[in-house]
């Protein structure tokens, strides 16, 4: 009997979450892929690659076929594929918002799918249509539809992120989206999302040292993996990159016969004083998103399209919202600054953003976020700045906290109090990452 006939919607949704959590990997892989896996590492690296475990792409094409989807079914989603280290989620959300603004005016695309990770509050945030998460009931329904079809086979079953990507593809096809924006998980070449055979456009946000054990050890290794989303005949756009990264991206684009263009300056079409573009980094994310959106529409509506209008751009920026990313919340006399930064590049930019805002607003302020968060106000003792740091992953929590301290100190921002937050047990019942506790015993000076 189908799950819908057994459970009430709330119970069904919780069962879907329990199912997803049961597919989480309990620990990071420690073994390199074997020679028979069919996957090769970056050629010509000066350092020995440290890529570990079975690549996430393994099994994806078979699972999609088990769901009844051909390559053409997936290609018909009209995919925008985005990889990188910093700003992936914001760039994806900007693309979705720009395409929706154009679609609202012209009729295409009517529905824009958006797949991102991680989620902040609810898992269905990862699967959105027209910038809104699909309903809890629909999400649970799609999870069980996918799982039931895969369970009928004796083959291996997908892990957590693999399953979520499959659910997003299934949801977008069932919902009839006209365009779908996909954010990679943590790589590119062997990422689960790279099961997409064909994309209309692909984008690379700024690349830094992240997921080193899986993609490193050098930034050139990481860039090689990220550029794996380039496709023959598709347009590709990249934010400004350091020289070594740019060389790798350009070489890979040539190998894959993808036309690569670098977006190096803020697009003058963006509204000058929009609140969503107050952080300088968001101006560049939006500029890359504009290039991707214009490239997408140029290929999909070539006869009548001459570029997004100023009204489209303004409306896209106005409608943009990305929870927990450079977000501000005013609550009485308090103003909260939220950002989910979780790597060196993002934490540095988030701390700079907060320092700039704290300088402008001399009142009680705060800045919490999921992995590195801060709360601050004016420098007076009556309205102290308070840094809240919550570390929930296996990254170097102490290192991230030191970087926040260094950035704020360079900007002359004094923090009077520090609150550290962690947890004892993951929701899926696994052991907590070691980094969550290491930060507690390695607190840098904030003042």
Q: Is residue 355 part of a domain?
A: yes
Verify that 48 and 164 share a domain, yes or no.
Answer: yes
Q: Residue 223 pLDDT > 70, yes or no? A: yes
Verify that 396 and 257 share a domain, yes or no.
Answer: no
**Among 175-184, 230-239, 285-294, 365-374, which is the least confidently predicted range?**
365-374
User: Averaged over 426-438, what is the pLDDT?
Assistant: 41
Query: CA-to-CA distance for 194 and 202, rounded, in angstroms?
Result: 11
User: Averaged over 134-161, what is the pLDDT?
Assistant: 93
Query: How many domains does the chain fold into?
Result: 2
Q: Is residue 162 part of a domain?
A: yes
Verify that 127 and 221 share a domain, yes or no.
Answer: yes
Verify that 260 and 236 share a domain, yes or no.
Answer: yes
Do residues 235 and 295 make contact, with C-beta atoms less than 8 angstroms apart? yes
pLDDT of residue 209: 85
User: Averaged over 190-204, what is the pLDDT?
Assistant: 97
Q: Tell me the pLDDT band of 337, cut-offs 50, 70 and 90.
A: confident
- Long-range contacts of 309-312, Cβ-Cβ distance < 8 Å, separation of 24 or more: 309/105, 310/269, 311/101, 311/105, 312/98, 312/101, 312/102, 312/105
Verify that 124 and 268 share a domain, yes or no.
Answer: yes
pLDDT of residue 407: 83
Verify that 87 and 132 share a domain, yes or no.
Answer: yes
Task: Kindly give the residue spans of alpha helices, DSSP state H, lying in 238-279.
Answer: 243-256
HSE toward the beta carbon, residue 3, CA cutoff 13 A? 21
% residues pLDDT > 90 (the chain): 53
User: Averaged over 180-195, what is the pLDDT?
Assistant: 95
Query: CA-to-CA distance for 146 and 160, rounded, in angstroms?
Result: 13
Q: Is residue 340 part of a domain?
A: yes
pLDDT of residue 417: 80
Do residues 263 and 240 make contact, with C-beta atoms less than 8 angstroms apart? yes
Tell me which of 447 and 349 has the higher pLDDT: 349
Q: Residue 365 pLDDT > 70, yes or no? A: no
Verify that 133 and 261 share a domain, yes or no.
Answer: yes
Do residues 227 and 204 make contact, with C-beta atoms less than 8 angstroms apart? yes
Q: Is residue 38 part of a domain?
A: no
Q: Is residue 446 part of a domain?
A: no
269-300 confidence digits (pLDDT tens): 999 989 889 888 899 999 999 999 999 999 99
Torsion-angle region of 192 (φ positive above 0: left; ψ -120 to 50: alpha; else: beta): alpha
Q: Is residue 24 part of a domain?
A: no
Q: Tell me the pLDDT band of 394, cut-offs 50, 70 and 90.
A: low
From 265, 291, 319, the end of a domain falls on: 319
pLDDT of residue 334: 78
Verify that 313 and 393 share a domain, yes or no.
Answer: no
Q: Tell me the CATH number at 272.
A: 3.40.1190.10
Verify that 291 and 349 share a domain, yes or no.
Answer: no
Verify that 250 and 351 share a domain, yes or no.
Answer: no
Q: Is residue 374 part of a domain?
A: yes
Q: Residue 405 pLDDT > 90, yes or no? A: no
From 319, 352, 382, the end of a domain falls on: 319
Query: CA-to-CA distance for 194 and 162, rounded, in angstroms?
Result: 11
Residue 121 phi/psi, 5° resolution?
-120, -45
73-96 confidence digits (pLDDT tens): 999 999 999 999 989 999 999 999
Find tokens 């347009």 and name the residue.
235
pLDDT of residue 379: 42
Domain limits at 436? 327-441
User: Averaged over 128-149, what is the pLDDT?
Assistant: 96
203-212 confidence digits (pLDDT tens): 999 998 877 7
User: Averaged over 307-313, what is the pLDDT?
Assistant: 95
Verify that 173 and 277 share a domain, yes or no.
Answer: yes
From 270, 295, 319, the end of a domain falls on: 319
User: Averaged over 175-192, what is the pLDDT?
Assistant: 95
Q: Tell me the pLDDT band of 364, cut-offs 50, 70 and 90.
A: very low
User: Averaged over 378-391, what is the pLDDT?
Assistant: 65
Verify that 144 and 124 share a domain, yes or no.
Answer: yes
Q: Is residue 33 part of a domain?
A: no
């Amino acid at each position: 009997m189908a799950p819908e006939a057994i459970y009430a919607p709330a119970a069904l949704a919780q069962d879907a979450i329990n199912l997803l959590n049961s597919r989480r990997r309990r620990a990071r892989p420690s073994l390199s892929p074997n020679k028979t896996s069919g996957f090769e590492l970056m050629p010509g690296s000066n350092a020995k690659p440290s890529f570990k475990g079975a690549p996430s792409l393994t099994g994806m094409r078979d699972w999609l076929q088990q769901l009844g989807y051909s390559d053409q079914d997936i290609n018909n989603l009209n995919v925008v594929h985005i990889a990188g280290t910093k700003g992936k989620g914001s760039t994806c959300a900007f693309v979705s918002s720009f395409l929706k603004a154009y679609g609202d005016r012209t009729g295409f695309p009517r529905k824009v799918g958006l797949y991102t990770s991680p989620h902040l509050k609810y898992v269905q945030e990862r699967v959105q249509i027209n910038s809104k998460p699909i309903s809890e009931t629909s999400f649970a329904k799609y999870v069980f539809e996918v799982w039931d079809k895969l369970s009928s086979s004796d083959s291996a079953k997908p892990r957590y992120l693999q399953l979520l990507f499959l659910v997003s593809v299934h949801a977008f096809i069932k919902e009839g989206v006209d365009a779908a924006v996909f954010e990679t998980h943590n790589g590119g070449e062997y990422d689960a999302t790279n099961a997409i055979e064909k994309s209309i456009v692909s984008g690379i946000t700024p690349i830094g040292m992240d997921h080193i054990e899986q993609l490193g050890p050098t930034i050139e290794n990481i860039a090689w993996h990220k550029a794996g989303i380039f496709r023959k005949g598709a347009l590709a756009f990249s934010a400004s990159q350091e020289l070594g990264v740019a060389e790798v991206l350009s070489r890979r684009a040539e190998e894959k016969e993808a036309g690569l263009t670098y977006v190096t300056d803020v697009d003058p079409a963006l509204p000058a004083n929009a609140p969503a573009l107050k952080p300088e980094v968001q101006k560049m994310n939006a500029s890359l998103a504009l290039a991707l959106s214009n490239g997408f529409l140029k290929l999909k509506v070539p006869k009548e399209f001459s570029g997004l209008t100023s009204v489209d751009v303004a409306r896209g920026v106005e409608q943009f919202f990305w929870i927990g990313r450079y977000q501000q919340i005013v609550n009485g006399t308090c103003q909260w600054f939220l950002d989910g930064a979780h790597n060196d590049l993002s934490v540095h930019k988030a701390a700079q953003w907060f320092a700039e805002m704290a300088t402008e607003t001399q009142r009680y302020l705060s800045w919490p976020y999921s992995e590195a968060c801060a709360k601050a106000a004016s420098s007076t003792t009556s309205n102290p700045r308070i840094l809240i740091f919550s570390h929930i992953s296996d990254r170097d929590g102490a290192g991230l906290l030191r970087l926040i301290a260094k950035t704020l100190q360079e900007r002359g921002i004094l923090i009077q109090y520090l609150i550290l937050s962690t947890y004892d047990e993951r929701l899926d019942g696994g052991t907590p990452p070691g980094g969550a506790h290491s930060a507690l015993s390695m607190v840098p000076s904030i003042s």
